[in-house]
Amino acid sequence: MNTPHEAELITLIAEQSLTERSKLTRDATLDMLGLDSVDIVSVAFELEDKYGITVSDNEFSKDQTLGQLLDLIEMKISSKAGVP
């Protein structure tokens, strides 16, 4: 499932984690992408600044896929906007 903000989120994650955008596929795990805790914190801070949402460190896990993370972020953005 592609989310409404998916392309924008993938670009944000690529920029914050210094990961090639082409590697950021929905089925890649954060571990496969080589995202470390510093990358995850950078992404979380950028999401908070850009969308006004909070994503805590414990909502990220190395075995989580990028698709799962994108869906979580999209849900938080929609909830903040009042979209059911």
Do 65 and 26 contact (CB within 8 A), yes or no?
yes
Over range 46-67, report the average pLDDT. Answer: 87
User: Does residue 18 belong to any structural domain of this protein?
Assistant: yes
Residue of 67, 83, 54, 77 whose CA lies nearest to 24: 67
Look at residue 1 and tell me if it is in a domain.
no
Q: What is the Cα–Cα distance from 3 to 37, expressed in whole angstroms?
A: 24
Q: How many domains does the chain have?
A: 1
Of residues 53 and 37, more confidently modeled: 53
What residues contact residue 50 under an 8 Å CB cut-off, 6+ apart? 12
Task: Give the structural domain span for 59.
Answer: 6-77
With respect to residue 51, please indicate whether it lies within any of the assigned structural domains. Answer: yes
Task: Look at residue 64 and tell me if it is in a domain.
Answer: yes
Residue 5's pLDDT is 86
Residue 44 has what pLDDT?
Answer: 85
Instruction: Report if residue 67 sits inside a domain.
Output: yes
8-state DSSP, 22 = G
In-domain check, residue 60? yes
Output the pLDDT for position 24.
92
Residue 84 placed within a domain: no
**What is the pLDDT confidence band of residue 84, given thresholds at 50, 70 and 90?**
low
